[in-house]
Amino acid sequence: MIPFIDIQAINRRFEESFKNEFQDFLDSGYYILGNQVSAFESRFADYCETQYCIGVGNGLDALRLILEGYKVLGKLQLGDEVIVASNTYIATIIAIRQAGLKPVLVEVENQTFNFDISALKQAISPSTRVIMPVHLYGQIAPMEQINSLAVDNDLLIIEDAAQAHGATHTNGKRAGNLGHAAGFSFYPTKNLGALGDAGAVTTNDTNLANAIKKLRNYGSSSKYVNELLGVNSRLDEIQASFLSVKLPFLDKDNQARRDIANAYLEGICNPKVVLPCYDGSKNHVFHLFVVQVASREHFQDYLKDKAIATLIHYPIPPHQQKALQDLKNLRFEVSQALHQQVISLPISPVMTQLQIEKVINAVNAY
100: left (phi over 0), alpha (psi -120 to 50) or beta: left
Nearest approach in angstroms of CB 134 to ligand PLP is 5
Nearest approach in angstroms of CB 187 to ligand PLP is 4
Site pattern 258..297 for ligand PLP (x: CB under 6 A): ----------------------------------------
Q: How many helices (H) and strands (E) does the chain have?
A: 13, 11
Max CA distance (Å), the chain: 65
DSSP string, 130-172: EEE-B-GGGBPP-HHHHHHHHHHHT-EEEEE-TT-TT-B-TTS
Q: Which of 199, 230, 317, 346 forms a contact with ligand PLP (CB under 6 A)?
A: 199
Is the Cβ of residue 202 or residue 362 nearer to ligand PLP in the bound state?
A: 202
Is the Cβ of residue 90 or residue 117 nearer to ligand PLP in the bound state?
A: 90
Are 38 and 244 in contact, with CB atoms under 8 Å apart?
no
Q: Residue 250 — φ and ψ, nearest 5°?
A: -60, -45
Residue 69 in the binding site for ligand PLP (CB under 6 A): no
Q: Which of 47, 187, 286, 299 forms a contact with ligand PLP (CB under 6 A)?
A: 187
Nearest approach in angstroms of CB 58 to ligand PLP is 4
Q: What is the dihedral of CA 79, 80, 81, 87, to 10 degrees?
A: -60
Q: How far apart are CA 166 and CA 152, in angstroms?
A: 28
Nearest approach in angstroms of CB 91 to ligand PLP is 4
Nearest approach in angstroms of CB 337 to ligand PLP is 20
Is the Cβ of residue 58 or residue 336 nearer to ligand PLP in the bound state?
A: 58
Q: Which of 40, 70, 89, 115 forms a contact with ligand PLP (CB under 6 A)?
A: 89
Q: Which of 55, 59, 179, 349 forms a contact with ligand PLP (CB under 6 A)?
A: 59
* CB-closest chain residue to ligand PLP: 59
Is the Cβ of residue 165 or residue 363 nearer to ligand PLP in the bound state?
A: 165
Nearest approach in angstroms of CB 62 to ligand PLP is 8
Q: Which of 88, 139, 191, 239 forms a contact with ligand PLP (CB under 6 A)?
A: 88
Nearest approach in angstroms of CB 155 to ligand PLP is 20
Q: Which of 114, 130, 140 is nearest to 64 (CA)?
A: 130
Q: How far apart are CA 66 and CA 46, in angstroms?
A: 20
Residue 236 in the binding site for ligand PLP (CB under 6 A): no
147-186 binders of ligand PLP (CB under 6 A): 160, 162-163, 185
Q: Count residues contacting ligand PLP (CB under 6 A)?
A: 15
Rg (CA), the chain: 20
* Angle at the Cα of 65 from the Cα atoms of 62 and 68, rounded to 5 degrees: 155
Q: Which of 101, 311, 308, 299 is nearest to 189 (CA)?
A: 311
Nearest approach in angstroms of CB 24 to ligand PLP is 25
SS (H, E, C) 161-230: CCCCCCCECCCCCECCCCCCEEEEECCCCCCCCCCCCCEEEEECCHHHHHHHHHHCECCEEECCEECCCC
Q: How far apart are CA 133 and CA 119, in angstroms?
A: 13
Is the Cβ of residue 149 or residue 200 nearer to ligand PLP in the bound state?
A: 200
Question: What SS3 class is residue 24?
Answer: helix
Nearest approach in angstroms of CB 86 to ligand PLP is 13
Q: Residue 141 — φ and ψ, nearest 5°?
A: -65, 165
Nearest approach in angstroms of CB 136 to ligand PLP is 6
Binding site residues, ligand PLP, CB under 6 A: 58-60, 88-89, 91-92, 134, 160, 162-163, 185, 187, 197, 199
